[in-house]
Structure 1
Amino acid sequence: MPDPILEQFCFTVTQAAKVLGRHKSTIYRLVKDGHIKTRQTVVGPVIMRSEIMRHLSEMPVEPEDRPGPPLHSPW
């Protein structure tokens, strides 16, 4: 069953952080550095679903049976 949050058209930074599994300060840094594009609205910046999906597809996949700590991601 698809995650209902991914059915949204746009995301706040907090929602994007949850979906991407990152802290919201990391998302703000990625926006500032130009790695994530946002659109300005009257309530603040939003991140379009296409940007979220792009980042999800670019994130490295970690094997579930890999021993030790998780691999570090560039995100």
Structure 2
Amino acid sequence: MPNLCRDPSLRLTEPGRTLLHPLTAQSLDSGTWRWLATGVPVHRRADVVRAARRCAEQWLQFAGEPELRGGTPGPGRAG
């Protein structure tokens, strides 16, 4: 992660900065994730689980984008 954050091609573009923000926020160690879990109230656990799974699904979809795998840009995207 530190190499990504230092890369000017990411840091100095709006899409790059927008991407780095959630990546750095989610690059927590397992102890921090456990600590965060202790702060979830019992009545919100199911909601948090659903939200976390939805985020995971979105990251997996993003990771499968052709642009990330060296493919052709999609409609409306510059190459």
Give yes or no for TM over 0.5: no
Which is greater in Rg?
A: 2
Structure with the higher helix share, 1 or 2: 2
Q: Taking structure 1 as the reference length, what is the TM-score of the superposition? A: 0.26
Q: Taking structure 2 as the reference length, what is the TM-score of the superposition? A: 0.25
Q: Determine which structure has greater relative contact order: mean sequence separation of CA pairs < 8 Å that are 6+ residues apart, divided by chain length.
A: 1
Structure with the higher strand share, 1 or 2: 1
